[in-house]
């Protein structure tokens, strides 16, 4: 492991270094709190453990460690274990160090085996923490992503819409929303099977995002229904964009097991009025979609109420 020692007393530093080298670690050294911070910031990704003396010139160990923890934040994946060293084993010192962000405390003179045990314990904790962060990130991605298309799911779409509605209101910028639905999708399932339907949904999502403008959010909000959030876009511009998507999604057949599946989509689009609730906005887009379906499908209808 790569271990950085911050210790101002040369003899203590030397002794510690010998112990750690004997244990097979690579050791780096600094002699005060300021050097500790600069070295850490420069080599953050290469270091595995910090061993920090409580009392050092210029900046104390506690001050330096507090700064390092503030820099890392509580969700840093590369959060580093820190062991404090002190000549005193006063209870107050121990508490002070742990509260500053340390994970373990050692009294000087350091005992070889105690040092080994603390290093094993803190690195094990760091490893578990890292695994937990990775697992959390995976769970978050799973809970916000549609498994079939990899687009944001309904929940993520609604959260994104809420954010965009807030931004639109704050910056007095237009915001449009569209709901896009595949026409007679049931027929594809019924004629070619559910797998063909799944293939179409995936392929359609790919085509949709191939033309996605940066800042726009597309989500799968129902079985064969997709939601489009178009920030900085008024309803006329949104209708033009939706017309482009309608053409893009239907101009080429979807080829599944040598079958050419032709499909069209209907779209309802509307613009946020700055006051309405999220469900009201989606409802208006849905109403426009309903009108598109009822007036022949394969078209974009605007709700400009
Ligand atoms: N393959 C597949 N089909 C799905 C999925 N989710 C929903 N569906 C199907 O989508 C079809 C939707 O059918 P309807 O609501 O009648 O709509 P439609 O046939 O597209 O007709 P219109 O919307 O009126 O043009 C149903 O057959 C659902 O089973 C999915 O994840 N995979």
Give me the CATH number covering residue 283.
Answer: 3.30.70.270
Q: Which of 180, 204, 224, 246 to mutate to test the pocket of ligand 1 (most atoms within 8 A of CB)?
A: 224
What distance in Å separates the CA atoms of residue 135 and residue 126, rounded to the nearest whole number? 14
- In-domain check, residue 14: yes
Residue 64's region, left for phi above 0, alpha for psi from -120 to 50, else beta, is alpha
Number of domain units in the chain: 2
- β-strand pairing of 265-271 with 2-6: unpaired
Q: Which of 120, 143, 166 is the last residue of a domain?
A: 143
Choosing from 124, 143, 162, the residue where a domain stops is 143
Task: Say what the pLDDT of residue 252 is.
Answer: 93
Q: Would you call 288 helix, strand, or coil by DSSP?
A: helix
228 and 175 together in one domain:
yes
**Would you state the pLDDT for residue 272?**
97
One domain, residues 108 and 201:
no
Q: Where does a domain end: 121, 143, 165?
A: 143
User: How far is it, in rounded angstroms, from Cα 266 to Cα 226?
Assistant: 11
Please check whether residue 279 is in contact with residue 194, taking contact to mean a CB–CB distance below 8 angstroms.
no
The whole-angstrom separation of Cα 298 and Cα 181 is 10
Enumerate the β-bridge partners of residue 271.
Answer: 176
Residue nearest atom 14 in ligand 1 by C-alpha distance: 186
Residues 94, 194, single domain; the answer is no
Among all residues, which ones are annotated catalytic? 224
**Residue 175 and residue 126 share a domain:** no
Q: Give pLDDT tens digits along the chain (305 positions).
A: 899 999 999 998 998 898 889 888 999 999 999 999 999 999 988 888 999 998 888 888 989 999 998 887 765 666 788 999 888 777 787 888 888 888 888 888 888 888 888 888 888 887 887 888 889 889 998 999 999 999 999 999 999 999 999 999 999 999 999 999 999 999 999 999 999 999 999 999 999 999 999 999 999 999 999 999 999 999 999 999 999 999 999 999 999 999 999 999 999 999 999 999 999 999 999 999 999 999 999 999 999 77
Q: What angle do CA 246, 250, 253 make, to 5 degrees?
A: 165
Of 110, 102, 144, the residue nearest 126 (C-alpha): 102
Q: Which residues line ligand 1 (CB under 6 A)?
A: 148, 181-186, 189, 194, 197-198, 201, 223-224, 293, 297
């Amino acid at each position: 492991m790569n271990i950085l020692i911050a210790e101002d007393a040369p003899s203590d530093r030397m002794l510690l270094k010998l112990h750690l080298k004997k244990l097979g670690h690579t050791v780096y050294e600094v002699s005060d709190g300021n050097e500790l911070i600069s070295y850490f910031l420069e080599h953050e990704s290469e270091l595995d453990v910090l061993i920090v003396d409580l009392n050092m010139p210029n900046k104390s160990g506690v001050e330096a460690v507090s700064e390092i923890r503030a820099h890392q934040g509580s969700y840093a994946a590369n959060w580093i274990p820190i062991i404090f060293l002190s000549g005193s084993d006063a209870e107050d010192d121990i508490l002070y160090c742990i509260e500053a962000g340390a994970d373990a405390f050692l009294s000087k003179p350091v005992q070889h085996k105690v040092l080994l045990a603390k290093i094993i314990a803190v690195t094990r904790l760091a490893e578990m923490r890292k695994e937990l962060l990775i697992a959390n990130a995976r769970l978050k991605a799973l809970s916000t992503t549609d498994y079939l298309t990899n687009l944001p799911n309904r929940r993520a779409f609604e959260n994104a819409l809420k954010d965009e509605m807030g931004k639109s209101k704050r910056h007095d910028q237009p915001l449009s929303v569209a709901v896009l639905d595949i026409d007679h999708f049931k027929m594809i399932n019924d004629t070619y099977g559910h797998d063909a339907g799944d293939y179409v949904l995936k392929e359609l999502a790919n085509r949709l995002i191939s033309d996605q403008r940066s800042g726009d959010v597309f989500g799968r909000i129902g079985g064969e229904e997709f939601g489009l959030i178009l920030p900085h876009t008024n309803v006329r511009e949104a209708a033009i964009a939706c017309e482009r998507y309608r053409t893009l999604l239907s101009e080429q057949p979807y080829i599944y097991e040598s079958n050419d599946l032709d499909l069209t989509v209907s779209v309802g689009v509307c613009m946020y009025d700055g006051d309405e609730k999220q469900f009201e906005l989606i409802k208006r887009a849905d109403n426009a979609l309903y009108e598109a379906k009822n007036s022949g499908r394969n078209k974009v209808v605007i709700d400009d109420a």
